[in-house]
């Protein structure tokens, strides 16, 4: 591959961790430890690791609601991610966000958005803020905004790309095309199923890349980010992968044929990358086994950490409603008066 062996082993370690974590998250959902919705990156590990590897520490990442793996690859502690899925106080978002709203400004992970395409306008705004503050340039941060294939059909997609191109913002939009918008194939929902071509409407360069090839994803994303910084040239990247499970944990994926399911299994990027590294002498079976075992231990320890974390104190219910204190915040509970002398709604 012509790559540093230590870097390749690190990519495999991250992919193995994401696989073990997401497998354990699915189990915890069936045990009712995780509530609400839960969307997994199973089958997308190469895309996840490749994209995050292209980012610099000062870059900003906006994600979809299928974001556990991105948080892990960006450096979030597995225990804090799992605690957030459990809705616990030690979670990444203090138990307030759950699976779809992971957030950590320390690693410049700015969500986690539960609404399809909800991340597109804020990400574009972040790129505008970099330019507005006259920070744009080769040494400046850039923004990576992830979206699913179905989000390319909403208005905010086109509005955001138009503004990014018009104002030459330092942002790269990445379509993670797992070939299904919930249960609908891309070809049945998009008149132009090669989604990267949609950037042509805004004179925005684009590229389709094999999402099962971590190196190809990293290199394409890195080149796009460099151009976004140095040349103020936004881009649209499409990474094609295939999720191994349904849209969410509760989706049995009955819309898939047996042939489609088998094709996804054969395309699984984790065993393919493992075999590739062993064939090229970067790993041997024993070393790969140790990485796999460590990933399983880390996932199990994340569950233990989440189990030991307390539920959020009800007294903190109204904390963090605003980024800065606001005197007008109503702190009453349902049934409390909104106004009135001496009442808890004051």
Segment 36-40 mean pLDDT: 94
Q: Which residue has the higher pLDDT, 258 or 25?
A: 25
CB of 14 closer than 8 Å to CB of 78 = no
Strand 180-181 to strand 184-185: parallel, antiparallel, or no bridges (unpaired)?
A: antiparallel
**Cα distance between residue 237 and residue 208, in whole Å:** 6
**Cα distance between residue 77 and residue 288, in whole Å:** 22
Q: Is residue 285 part of a domain?
A: yes
CA count, 13 A, side-chain hemisphere, 288:
19
Q: What band does 336 get if pLDDT is binned at 50, 70 and 90?
A: confident
Average pLDDT, the chain: 92
pLDDT digits (tens, 9 = 90+) for 75-112: 999 999 999 999 999 999 999 999 999 999 999 999 99
Q: Which residue has the higher pLDDT, 325 or 45?
A: 45
Asked whether the predicted pLDDT for residue 22 surpasses 60, the reply is: yes
pLDDT digits (tens, 9 = 90+) for 249-278: 988 888 888 888 888 888 899 999 999 999
As a whole-number percent, the residues of the chain with pLDDT over 90 amount to 75
**Cα distance between residue 189 and residue 175, in whole Å:** 15
pLDDT digits (tens, 9 = 90+) for 156-184: 999 999 999 999 999 999 999 988 888 88
Q: What band does 123 get if pLDDT is binned at 50, 70 and 90?
A: very high
Q: Provide the residue range defining the domain that includes 122.
A: 5-312
Asked whether the predicted pLDDT for residue 136 surpasses 80, the reply is: no
Segment 9-14 mean pLDDT: 98
Segment 24-39 mean pLDDT: 96
Asked whether the predicted pLDDT for residue 341 surpasses 50, the reply is: no
Q: Is residue 321 part of a domain?
A: no
**Cα distance between residue 99 and residue 85, in whole Å:** 5
Q: Is residue 240 part of a domain?
A: yes
pLDDT at res. 265: 87
Strand runs labelled E in 138-181: 143-148, 171-177, 180-181
Segment 45-59 mean pLDDT: 98
Q: Is residue 341 part of a domain?
A: no
pLDDT at res. 334: 77
DSSP per residue, 228-284:
HHHS---EEEEEE---SS-SSTT---TTS-HHHHHHHHHT-HHHHHHHHHHHTTS--
pLDDT at res. 343: 47
CATH code of the domain containing 230: 3.40.50.970
User: What are the CA-CA distances from residue 344 to residues 63, 338, 341 (Å)?
Assistant: 38, 8, 9
CB of 270 closer than 8 Å to CB of 212 = no
Edge-to-edge strand list for the sheet holding 60-62: 60-62, 143-148, 171-177, 235-240, 206-210
Q: Is residue 342 part of a domain?
A: no
Asked whether the predicted pLDDT for residue 155 surpasses 70, the reply is: yes
Q: Is residue 270 part of a domain?
A: yes
pLDDT digits (tens, 9 = 90+) for 203-224: 999 999 999 999 999 999 999 9
CB of 117 closer than 8 Å to CB of 154 = yes
Asked whether the predicted pLDDT for residue 346 surpasses 60, the reply is: no
Encoded tokens for 148:
């699913």
Q: Is residue 296 part of a domain?
A: yes
Asked whether the predicted pLDDT for residue 232 surpasses 70, the reply is: yes
**Cα distance between residue 28 and residue 43, in whole Å:** 19
pLDDT at res. 64: 97
Nearest Cα neighbor of 250 from 3, 35, 46 is: 35
pLDDT at res. 1: 64
Q: Is residue 191 part of a domain?
A: yes
Q: What band does 321 get if pLDDT is binned at 50, 70 and 90?
A: confident
Could you give the number of structural domains in the chain?
1
């Amino acid at each position: 591959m012509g790559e540093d062996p230590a870097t390749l082993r690190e990519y495999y370690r991250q992919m193995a961790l994401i696989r073990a974590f997401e497998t354990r998250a699915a189990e915890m959902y069936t045990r009712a430890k995780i509530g609400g919705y839960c969307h997994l990156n199973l089958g997308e590990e190469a895309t996840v690791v490749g994209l995050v590897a292209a980012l610099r520490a000062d870059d900003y990442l906006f994600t979809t609601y299928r974001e556990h793996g991105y948080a892990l690859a960006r450096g979030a502690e597995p225990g804090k991610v799992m605690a957030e899925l459990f809705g616990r106080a030690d979670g990444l978002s203090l138990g307030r966000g759950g699976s779809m709203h992971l957030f950590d400004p320390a690693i410049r992970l700015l969500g986690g958005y539960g609404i399809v395409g909800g991340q597109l306008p804020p990400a574009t705004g972040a790129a505008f803020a970099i330019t507005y503050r006259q920070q744009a340039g080769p040494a400046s941060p850039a923004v990576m905004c992830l979206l699913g294939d179905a989000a390319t059909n909403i208005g905010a997609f086109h509005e955001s790309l138009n503004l990014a191109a018009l104002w030459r913002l330092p942002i790269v939009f990445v379509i993670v095309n797992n070939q299904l918008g919930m249960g609908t194939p891309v070809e049945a929902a998009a008149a132009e199923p090669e989604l990267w071509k949609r950037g042509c409407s805004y004179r925005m360069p684009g590229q389709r890349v094999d999402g099962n090839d971590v190196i190809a994803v990293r290199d394409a994303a890195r080149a796009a980010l460099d151009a976004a910084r140095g040349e103020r040239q936004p881009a649209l990247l499409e990474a094609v992968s295939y999720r191994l499970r349904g849209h969410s944990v509760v989706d049995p994926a009955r819309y898939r044929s047996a042939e489609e399911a088998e094709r996804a299994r054969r395309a699984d990027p984790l065993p393919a990358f493992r075999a590739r590294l062993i064939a090229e002498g970067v790993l041997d079976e024993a070393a790969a086994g140790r990485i796999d075992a460590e990933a399983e231990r880390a996932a199990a320890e994340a569950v233990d950490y989440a189990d030991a974390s307390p539920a959020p104190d009800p007294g903190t219910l109204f904390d963090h409603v605003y980024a800065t204190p606001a005197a007008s915040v109503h702190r009453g509970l349902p049934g409390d008066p909104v106004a009135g002398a001496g009442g808890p709604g004051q």
